[in-house]
Amino acid sequence: MSIERLKKLVLLGDSAFKNETLEAIQDHGFVHIIPLNEYKQEAQTNHYEELREALSYLKNSPHKRRLQTPSHEFHQKQLIERVLNNKRARASTIDEIELLRNRIKDLQPWGDFEYPDLAELSAYRLWFYLAPISKIAMLDSVKLPWKILKESNGFYFLLVIAKNEPNEDEVPFARVHVGSRSLSQLGDDLDAALVKLEDLNAERESLTRWIKPLTHSLDKTINLARMTRAAGLTLDDEDIFVLSGWVSESSVSKLEALRNSSNIAYTLTDPDEQDSPPTLLRNSDRFGGGETAVSFFQLPGYNSWDPSVIIFFSFALFFAVILSDAGYAAVLGVLLASFWKKLGRSQGSRRLRNLAGAIVAASAIYGVMIGSYFGIALDESGFLYKLKILDINNFAVMMQLSIGIGILHLVAANAIAGWQHRNTLKSLSNAGWAIAISSAYVLWLQYLKNGASISFYSPASLVFVTGLALVLLFSSDRKIHSLPDLALRFFDSILALYKLTKAFGDVLSYMRLFALGLSSASLAVTFNQLAVSASESVAAGGFILFTLIVLFGHVLNFVLAIMSGVIHGLRLNMLEFYNWGIEGEGYPFEAFKKNQ
């Protein structure tokens, strides 16, 4: 549950054994390579991309043949070329079909006709126009031979005969390009294209039998592409090659084992101020779902800290408050249970499964606390009603709760950021913000309780001023060597105080928890009431109408609540919390390793 400390590696090896050395490093899989040379993409990398494209195309086929392993020589390159040719031909044919259908649709109002030979018309040509019925009087100004073919949808379909295309003065209407092919010819072309598409689909389905051997060769191709890329990132001489990279402190023993088994030498140094090491997060699968969310949005910088565990629990809490229904939580639990085994096949899916489990548990507990079960009113003498602790319709209490959650979230962000800077005076600035934000919340609660102005000399007010004083004094880390430096440092501190308005806005952002939770619970109640009213308003079929409204309403509300929980749960963590607790943006540690 931390950011792994890294060492900078410089490795020297014998050029004669470069491939063997790189393969050994790839087998161990613990080095993030730093480019020492400009890598030029080679054919092997292109082959890897083509293989992935072909395999994805076959896997997405709606119909598949029985998978088989070839008993004879497997010509992979020719097979990939055949698959990609099929993909390109199929895409082109689909575009042709769409184009023909549009042409047929545009030409149908003009009818099915074929142009006579130009010699038969003495070099005269046919020109087609759409003339608005409202402008029929303008036809009197047309001196060329013309004829109205039909009238439809407020337009006359106008045919004009001329050797050259008439200009706007000769025919003041919009010209229509009907093309050189008749409706019959276009229909024949469409039939031929549809037959061609059927043949291409059949060929694609036939090719799906090779998915298994292509999948087996994918890992090998990926590993070879990575090896080729790594070889291109080293610095080479006639006798030696140099590889630079980052390794974690926990992997130094693997590096030493590699040195004992290979003809290499290396040095390890700590990162200096000019270095920008990658970020390698270490979390157990139990709380790794938070790391997944962090990696998806923005990795913290190497010198920052790992917020994965806090985001794991806070995201589950925010989601629960937004969902605000134990019944919906039960539905989520059933869905999770049905996919439980499937979600355990990889480390990433196991982490998401654990996060989903925490969300279900938090949602169920919070739903019971507010007594919300699909919006059904509880019997006050029942057991479930006795478990109800909060009234979601008590706006004052729920507003205090949601803002209180935001206060704790931001105070935690500043407290941990302060701990990260514990060896510097800047930690006092983080402490000042934590004190100011929490004391401001206490002052607000006092105001709500007393309904009167707050004394400047109250304990909470003095604590608030103390917090701002710490921010003012210790926000800047500018060194003071002269009077201008002192003035600039004071100016930096004044600018830091402007974050007070940002703190106010960020705290208010957490009111969305209350607003979204209330809307979710209220919509559930509303759909129930609407279903009852509708069923009572009809003489027959009331139960069917009741069932349809309840199902549609709750499915819609459930989907909206899930979307809101994900979007706003991530937003509060990744924007408000990140802005106060995380400094710098990192990039991922990408180990040079083999796909297994």
Cα 580–chain centre separation: 23
- In this prediction, residue 214 carries a pLDDT of 84
Query: Long-range contacts made by residues 186-191, C-beta under 8 angstroms, separation at least 24?
Result: 186/100, 186/103, 186/104, 186/107, 187/104, 189/100, 190/97, 190/100, 190/101, 190/104
What is the C-alpha separation between 202 and 197, in angstroms, rounded? 9
Going by C-alpha positions, the residue among 11, 70, 50 that lies closest to residue 245 is 11
N-terminal to C-terminal alpha carbon distance within the chain:
26
- In this prediction, residue 556 carries a pLDDT of 94
pTM reported for the whole predicted model: 0.75
What is the C-alpha separation between 321 and 250, in angstroms, rounded? 40
| Positions of the chain with pLDDT under 50 | none
- In this prediction, residue 40 carries a pLDDT of 63
Burial group, residue 181, by CB count within 10 angstroms (0-12, 13-18, 19+): middle
- In this prediction, residue 589 carries a pLDDT of 92
The DSSP code for 478 is: -
Q: Is the dihedral of CA 150, 151, 152, 157 positive or negative?
A: positive
What is the C-alpha separation between 447 and 463, in angstroms, rounded? 16
User: In this structure, are residues 149 and 141 in contact, taking their beta carbons and an 8 Å threshold?
Assistant: no
Q: Is the dihedral of CA 130, 133, 137, 140 positive or negative?
A: positive
- Tell me the H-state helices in 65-130: 76-107
What is the C-alpha separation between 544 and 552, in angstroms, rounded? 12
Backbone dihedral angles phi then psi of residue 9, each to the nearest 5 degrees: -105, 135
What is the C-alpha separation between 307 and 291, in angstroms, rounded? 8
The number of beta carbons lying within 10 Å of the beta carbon of residue 129 is: 19
Q: 125-132 and 281-282: which strand pairing?
A: unpaired
Q: Is the dihedral of CA 267, 270, 273, 277 positive or negative?
A: positive
E-assigned strand segments in 310-436:
none
Going by C-alpha positions, the residue among 227, 222, 254 that lies closest to residue 243 is 227
- In this prediction, residue 472 carries a pLDDT of 85
Residue 3 pairs with which residues in a beta bridge? 281
- In this prediction, residue 39 carries a pLDDT of 66
Rounded to a whole number of angstroms, the CA Rg of the chain reads 35
Q: Supply the angle between the helices 542-571 and 511-536 in degrees, to the nearest 10.
A: 170
Whose tokens are 């142009």? That residue is 115
